Structure 1
Amino acid sequence: MKFTNGYWLMRDGVDALFARDAYELHPDPERETISVLAPTRPITERANTLNQPAFHVELSTPIEGVIRVRATHWRGGPQGIGFPITQDEPGGRDYVHITTHGDGDGETGERGATAALSSGGLTATVVKGPEWNLTFTDERGNTLTRSQGKSLARFALNKLANVSAEPVGEFGVTRTGLANDESRTFTSIQLSLGVGETVYGFGERFAAFVKNGQSVDIWNEDGGTASEQGYKDIPFYMTSGGYGVFVNDRGHVSFEVGTVNTEAVQCSVPGETIDFCVIYGPTPKQILDRYTRLTGRPAQVPAWSYGLWLTTSFTTKYDEATITSFVDGMASRGIPLSAFHYDCYWMREFHWTDFEWDSRFFPDIEATLKRLHEDKGLHLCAWINPYIGQSGAMFDEGMRNGYLVRNPDGTVWQTDNWQAGMGLVDFTNPDARAWFKGKVVSLLKQGIDAIKTDFGERIPRDVVWFDGAPKLSMHNWYTELYNQTVFEAIEETYGTGKACLFARSATAGGQQFPVHWGGDCESTFNGMAQTLRGGLSLTSSGFGFWSHDIGGFEGAFPDPAVYKRWLAFGLLSSHSRLHGSTVYRVPWLFDEEDERQGRRIEPGQSAVDVCRTFTLLKLSLIPYLYQAGLEAHRHGTPVMRSMFVEFPDDPACRTLDRQYMLGPSLLVAPVFTYSGEVTYYLPAGGWTNWFTGERVHSEHGVWRTEHHGFDSVPLWVRDGSVIVTHPGATTPDYDYTADPDVRVFLGDQDEASATVTRIDGGSVVFTARREGEEIKVMRS
């Protein structure tokens, strides 16, 4: 939110209090905290302490390399609700140190005294004196960021405040923040940015990848990929300065990234307290490691999920015969499928979600699912959402037992927006969670392996929750409870490491329940590019796995050129799914469209050929991708990552959002043009083209412009890589260590190695070593 009018003035109707003095410092070595009393004017005499507001600020360290700051104006006033975070027990932690210099004991004497809290290379220092100064430094004493001067603030809206009295829609935000009923007070912090410092993250954001100059509201919305809204809004960012910031508030957090103050990121929350963590790296991977340790690691996903998924698509007409024709059609064309997904209309219209198969089209569904499992070798997924249409049997059951969210007057909250008269499952009610989980388990027992948890963003504002949660604190948090409930049902049914969602909405911590996909994108090259930007922002925010609708979701019949270019992009992503709205996404339909348009298809350039080529390529790379997925699970390093995450010291990589790294060794630059022209950047070092074997070496990085057919894409391997492959693989779940093809890219190095982990957990290390003119590969 913007509270100021330029640099000097407040907006009409906004009253401001700023921390102006660090008056008392109270180090507590036993609790490993520092407490600060920060009045809102300099205290020069005792009389200044009367009628004087003050902030109470506490510094602590939940885990190594993370310092938490909690600043409060009125402790009895409205407070935000935080996320569950990891907290090491204080006392005896060898990575925590408190130091004081001068008069740091809390008395009002010496100005310029300091108290500092250090944790794993990160130090927060407060200077006692008539100007607020909280500075974060690294182990070398370099300043990372600081809150100084008029940066810690409490804003109150009076009767003249020019903010909206009503939200935009039943669930939403206004252009300047939330409506007046959210709060009349807000607490805010500004954290400085250095010259040239760039900002990344905030979850899934489809605008520019670098967030400088953007206003970001953490408020999940079903806004598509061509808007400023996001399905997965995460109150976390990291910067090229070597640190990240996590605002620990599950409600509406507003960020002004170099806008109201071009030298800072402003974070504001409703109420009287702001709670945030500064997370030290210094590399992006180290920041993500600590952030996901703090908020939860991505779960390990099953190996089969890395294969190609095909869906019924959304509003298409389908039955068992149609589905069988798709599955058999892919097999007859040599395109291996790993998973088949039933979208919304497996249930009867107006009945979503009631977990009952539409018997008009699926008269013996258990026999069908068994046949697809056993005869076709497929894993199966089904669509659900947390909304209960009143035409389905679950509505009466949920209403009768108090499982649906209620209005303040005690009636069941309902809307016609999506399904007629639908209610909303109240996941804050343990019995409602058990009820919904039981429905999911019944579906799994019929033969379903994975669940697409759609929606979760349309959460009403003015309702009553079973656990008494403040109404607006549930808007973003709802999706966590929804996805967690379903994930637990799958994990309890199939076991740890075998659960897989296909989720659209998320909040901080949602990375624990993968996989997430990018939502409703346009079937255009712009839609493809904004989808990638959203994915790179999401994976820069702690999410290890990500997918998207190959070919795009929205639109009538997508252009076959867009579909074919998207195939290469989609099958060189962590997870790959063919899905759309009104048109089936089987590749032969796009070849038929080309024929209808009189377009000549060159050999190897048909949609069927392209889909086969890149599906087989991905299956051959599964040993490498599976290992990258284990790194995401263990340390939070995403499978797909931005060039900045992999090459943070290369300034040219900071703004790149049309290429990415797939794991640590493969660089992918999707083609976003009809002509096949693509311009991309190879960072300094040596690279080998995967398809052609061309070698490039540059001391300073090199830009390239090329033309590619539909069956090709810039795919480069970094020097020092050993990549274990299985050409000819037709499934993603095989023994990755049995008779592999080991491809070695030593460059100038004499030795490199790669660990390959089997599905059963065993692992083999493949080491390539230069011995004279020969390169030998050994396994251990």
Structure 2
Amino acid sequence: MKFSDGNWHVPEHLHLLNPVEVFDARDEGDSLLILAPTTPQPDRANQINAKLLRLRFFSPMEGVIGVRFEHFRGGLDKGPHFELYPDAAFKPEISIGEKAAELKSGNLTVRVSTAEGWRIDFLRDGKVISGSDYKAAGHCTDKSDNDQTYMFERLDLGVGTKVYGLGERFTDFVKNGQMVDIWNRDGGANTDQAYKNIPFFLTNRGWGLFVNDPGRVEFEIGSEKVSKATFSVPGEALEYYFIDGPDPKSVIDRYTQLTGRPALPKQWSFGLWLTTSFTTEYDENTVTGFLDGMAERNIPLHVFHFDCFWMRGLHWCDFEWDPETFPDPEAMLARYKERGLHICVWINPYIAQESRLFDEGKENGYLIKREDGSVWQWDMWQPGQAVVDFTNPEACDWYAGYLKGLVGQGVDCFKTDFGERIPTDVAYHDGSDPETMHNYYTFLYNKVVFDALEESKGKGEAVLFARSATTGGQQFPVHWGGDCYSDYDSMAETLRSGLSLGLCGFGYWSHDIGGFEATAAADVYKRWCAFGLMSSHSRLHGSKSYRVPWLYDDEAVDVLRFFVNLKCTLMPTLYASAVEAPKTGLPMMRPMMLEFPEDRACDPLDRQYMLGDRLMVAPVLDQSGDVEFYLPKGRWTHLLSGDEVEGGSWRVESHGFMSMPLYVRPNSIMVFGANDQRPDYDYADGATYALYALEDGKTAEAVVYAEGGAIEQSVSVLRSGNKLAVSVADAARPWKLLLTNVVSIEGAGEGVTISESAEGVVLEGKGNTEITL
């Protein structure tokens, strides 16, 4: 929302109150309280009829400063509230002087001028990195909208500051110049609307901002005042957290410490998922035909997903298999599981009037009601559709009970679709404010499903495939990108949306390979297969047509098989990056600016990414096969060809369907597993540790993890001149080290065997050793 008309004026329908000076500054032990009048107070007479704004500064953990900015404090707080996880033991330092009052949290300080004028500064190690000056913050009354009130703040961006995040957004990756409305919508994957709206942004300067409000938050990122980030909420109070890094990775670390870390998905979930698609005709014979077709073509498949019509039409959700198409679901699922498959089924939080659940929900008060006590209904999506009220604990248990019944039949995970079209003209069981619940509803919905899986399958076993989200939703992975089109434009839109979401602490993300709407041309499908298998999670899914590769052309079969095999082989490396998300909040798919924050050329890049910290991926987004991408400085190696190139510049390459730009970062070890058929196996057994472009004086390291994140093996290599010192954690376990682009070596330690391959020199041994190049 804009609170100005150009630089000098305020719109006539808006009345603003701005803090002008500090009337009082108080040290309240764990917080700094500032009382700020909206007119100067030279004497006591001016205190009559004065208007006062109140700011409380506090610190929930080191490096994070919270600001509570209020006008009237007497309103009802109906909730809901984000679940936050502050460090209760941390205490900030507070000082109040003649010129300024300060609160210090680690290297981050907020300073409020107490001498003259109004000014707030945020400082890192004594240097100002952002702030708010006279008339930047305030209270607004909109006289054209029944005197609706707002609280707002404008923070300085500074020269060269780029803003990212704010959820899974399909608009430009850099948010400068955009107005972003934090309001979940089912608007597809090619508009300014989003399924996953997160009131958090990150900057390339190593600081971020989180607005602690589950309701509608509006951001003007350099779009009202071009050097400011404006954010506002309706009502009489605004709470936000200024988060310092000082680098972007550390900002995400602190943000997810505060709002929740992602759970670690099961290894099997990283394999290939195939679905029935949405409105296609299917039964057990159809599904079995897909499975047989994949097996006959030697394409590994790991998860099969039944979309909406596993239930009868017009009955969603009743959690009953359609008896005409699936007369014996338990036996069917048992047969599929004998093939080594995991099973996913589609669900949503909506209850059609013809569902067997409708009368149960109505009678027991499990459905969201109108203010008059009747069940809220409409005919959108399903006839007479109602919505489960997850603020009612009994409704949560009721809904979860049906899910547990499906788990008992053989279902392993749930695609939690929808959760965005949540009404606001309603009354919730717990009295929550319906405007605020609109966005927050998805958190409750996905948490109920996630918890039901953990309760029925065991802790650490839950896997979702979720579409909607808000802050905290990152704790319930995996998430996918919604209803995209089947063309190159949509591939690009999809990628930048996933990169934006990852910068909000969502560690794992997927998308519909081949596109959802319409049917892709064969070349688009093949390029999307490569992109999809080089993503965190990989699912073939569509709307009105199937996504099995032989329906496109014969080459599509080969392309899909190749990249599934490649992903399975790369799983030791990919899983190592997956394990980071529960520890640091870092996503598997990382924008270049996250891994190379000092390289300004990386700031705007949104058509390439790092998969983990050592593999650069640039999907081909053009029918010609040409792709333009940037490599930071250093000697990069193409994963498939072994070609070495010097970075620090842009490159244009042309790739066939069995290739794409996949470049290994200098000074890296990639771990290749011995199994190209499954994502879940003993990664350390028979693994090859491939060393790439190790520079003199540098160390390359790799850690191999077992299911759940326990360390199984670690290998490090230090280069000193022509010497390589190899260190391993488990001296009893054999290792295999590939030295890429090395023709021969002079010698190695005792017990090490040496052989040559097309990729370089292979050494095998046990324990620590030294190698002479």
User: For this structure pair, what is the TM-score category when the shorter chain's length is used for normalisation?
Assistant: over 0.9
Partner of 1:170: none
Q: 2-side partners of 1:629 and 1:767: how far apart?
A: 20
Which aligned pairs between 1:200-239 and structure 2 lie closer than 5 A?
A: 200-239=164-203
Q: CA offset at residue 4 of structure 1?
A: 1.9
Q: CA offset at residue 777 of structure 1?
A: 4.7
Which aligned pairs between 1:582-597 and structure 2 lie closer than 5 A?
A: 582-591=544-553
Partner of 1:330: 294
Give the aligned residue type for 1:98: I
Partner of 1:366: 330
Q: Is contact 2:349–2:387 with CA below 8 Å preserved after alignment?
A: yes
1:8-35 Cα offsets, whole Å, 9 max, x none, are 212231111111111211013xx32100
Q: Is contact 2:71–2:139 with CA below 8 Å preserved after alignment?
A: yes
Secondary structure of the residue aligned to 1:5 is: coil
1:145-174 Cα offsets, whole Å, 9 max, x none, are 10111112111011xx2x6xxxxxxxxxxx
Q: CA offset at residue 776 of structure 1?
A: 6.3
Partner of 2:97: 101
Partner of 1:169: none
Partner of 1:197: 161
Q: Is contact 1:23–1:130 with CA below 8 Å preserved after alignment?
A: no
Partner of 1:690: 639
**Residue 475 (structure 1) aligned to one of 435, 438, 444:** 438
**Residue 130 (structure 2) aligned to one of 133, 142, 145:** 145
Secondary structure of the residue aligned to 2:376 is: coil
Secondary structure of the residue aligned to 2:552 is: helix
Q: 2-side partners of 1:69 and 1:772: how far apart?
A: 53
Q: Is contact 2:306–2:345 with CA below 8 Å preserved after alignment?
A: yes
Partner of 1:244: 208
Identical-residue share of aligned pairs (%): 51
Give the aligned residue type for 1:657: D
Partner of 2:526: 564
1:679-708 Cα offsets, whole Å, 9 max, x none, are 00001122111111111234xx11000111
Secondary structure of the residue aligned to 1:19 is: coil
Q: 2-side partners of 1:621 and 1:664: how far apart?
A: 13
Secondary structure of the residue aligned to 2:213 is: coil
Secondary structure of the residue aligned to 1:10 is: coil
Q: Is contact 2:80–2:437 with CA below 8 Å preserved after alignment?
A: no
Q: 1-side partners of 2:80 and 2:134: how far apart?
A: 27
Matched, 1:659 2:608: yes
Q: Is contact 1:26–1:36 with CA below 8 Å preserved after alignment?
A: yes
Matched, 1:731 2:678: yes
Q: CA offset at residue 567 of structure 1?
A: 0.6
Partner of 1:32: 30
Q: 2-side partners of 1:775 and 1:612: how far apart?
A: 36
Partner of 2:538: 576
Partner of 1:352: 316
Partner of 2:622: 673
Q: CA offset at residue 81 of structure 1?
A: 5.0
Q: CA offset at residue 265 of structure 1?
A: 0.6
Partner of 1:175: none
Partner of 1:85: 84
**Residue 753 (structure 1) aligned to one of 701, 706, 724:** 701
Matched, 1:463 2:423: no
Partner of 2:594: 645
Give the aligned residue type for 1:647: F
Partner of 1:256: 220
1:232-252 Cα offsets, whole Å, 9 max, x none, are 000000112221100000000
Matched, 1:393 2:352: no
Secondary structure of the residue aligned to 1:35 is: strand
Partner of 1:441: 404
1:742-766 Cα offsets, whole Å, 9 max, x none, are 1111431453111111116342111
Partner of 2:585: 636
Q: 1-side partners of 2:408 and 2:726: how far apart?
A: 45
Partner of 1:768: 717
Q: CA offset at residue 500 of structure 1?
A: 0.5
Q: Is contact 2:636–2:693 with CA below 8 Å preserved after alignment?
A: no
Q: CA offset at residue 88 of structure 1?
A: 2.3
Secondary structure of the residue aligned to 2:553 is: helix
Partner of 1:597: none
Deviates more, 1:477-486 or 1:43-52: 43-52
Q: 2-side partners of 1:775 and 1:692: how far apart?
A: 24
Secondary structure of the residue aligned to 1:621 is: helix
Matched, 1:551 2:514: yes
Q: CA offset at residue 734 of structure 1?
A: 0.4
Q: CA offset at residue 778 of structure 1?
A: 4.4
Q: 1-side partners of 2:115 and 2:233: how far apart?
A: 27
Q: 2-side partners of 1:417 and 1:632: how far apart?
A: 37
Q: Is contact 1:300–1:498 with CA below 8 Å preserved after alignment?
A: no
1:191-242 Cα offsets, whole Å, 9 max, x none, are 1110111100100110100000000000000001110000000000011222
Give the aligned residue type for 2:461: K
Q: CA offset at residue 741 of structure 1?
A: 1.4
Secondary structure of the residue aligned to 2:103 is: strand
1:466-514 Cα offsets, whole Å, 9 max, x none, are 0001120110000000000000001112222221100000000000000
Which aligned pairs between 1:413-562 and structure 2 lie closer than 5 A?
A: 413-555=376-518, 557-562=519-524
1:83-127 Cα offsets, whole Å, 9 max, x none, are 12112225xx3x62222333xxxxxxxxxx212111121111111
Q: 2-side partners of 1:502 and 1:233: how far apart?
A: 17
Q: CA offset at residue 437 of structure 1?
A: 0.8
**Residue 718 (structure 1) aligned to one of 665, 687, 691:** 665
Q: 1-side partners of 2:160 and 2:76: how far apart?
A: 37
Deviates more, 1:315-324 or 1:124-133: 124-133
Secondary structure of the residue aligned to 1:187 is: strand
1:363-403 Cα offsets, whole Å, 9 max, x none, are 110011111112x1001100000000011100111011110
Which segments of 5 or more consecutive residues in structure 1 lack a partner in the other structure? Answer: 103-112, 164-179, 593-605
**Residue 125 (structure 1) aligned to one of 97, 108, 111:** 111
Q: 2-side partners of 1:727 and 1:680: how far apart?
A: 31
Q: CA offset at residue 42 of structure 1?
A: 2.1
Q: CA offset at residue 779 of structure 1?
A: 2.7
Q: Is contact 1:242–1:280 with CA below 8 Å preserved after alignment?
A: yes
Partner of 1:176: none
Q: CA offset at residue 82 of structure 1?
A: 3.5
Give the aligned residue type for 2:448: T
Q: CA offset at residue 77 of structure 1?
A: 3.2
Normalised by the length of structure 2, the TM-score is 0.92
Q: 2-side partners of 1:478 and 1:81: how far apart?
A: 9
**Residue 151 (structure 2) aligned to one of 181, 187, 199:** 187
1:257-281 Cα offsets, whole Å, 9 max, x none, are 1111111111100100000000110
Partner of 1:109: none
Matched, 1:743 2:741: no
Q: 2-side partners of 1:410 and 1:225: how far apart?
A: 36
Matched, 1:707 2:692: no
Q: 1-side partners of 2:723 and 2:152: how far apart?
A: 62
Q: CA offset at residue 727 of structure 1?
A: 4.5
Give the aligned residue type for 2:664: V
Matched, 1:134 2:130: no
Secondary structure of the residue aligned to 1:564 is: helix
Give the aligned residue type for 1:748: E
Partner of 2:71: 73
Q: CA offset at residue 428 of structure 1?
A: 0.4
Secondary structure of the residue aligned to 1:583 is: coil
* Alpha carbons of structure 1 residues 461 and 521: separation in structure 2 relative to 1, 3 Å: same
Q: 2-side partners of 1:770 and 1:278: how far apart?
A: 41
1:404-427 Cα offsets, whole Å, 9 max, x none, are 001111110001000000100000
Secondary structure of the residue aligned to 1:613 is: helix
How much is the aligned-residue C-alpha RMSD, in angstroms?
A: 1.4
Deviates more, 1:725-734 or 1:744-753: 744-753
**Residue 609 (structure 1) aligned to one of 552, 558, 566:** 558
Q: 2-side partners of 1:116 and 1:297: how far apart?
A: 30
Give the aligned residue type for 2:567: K
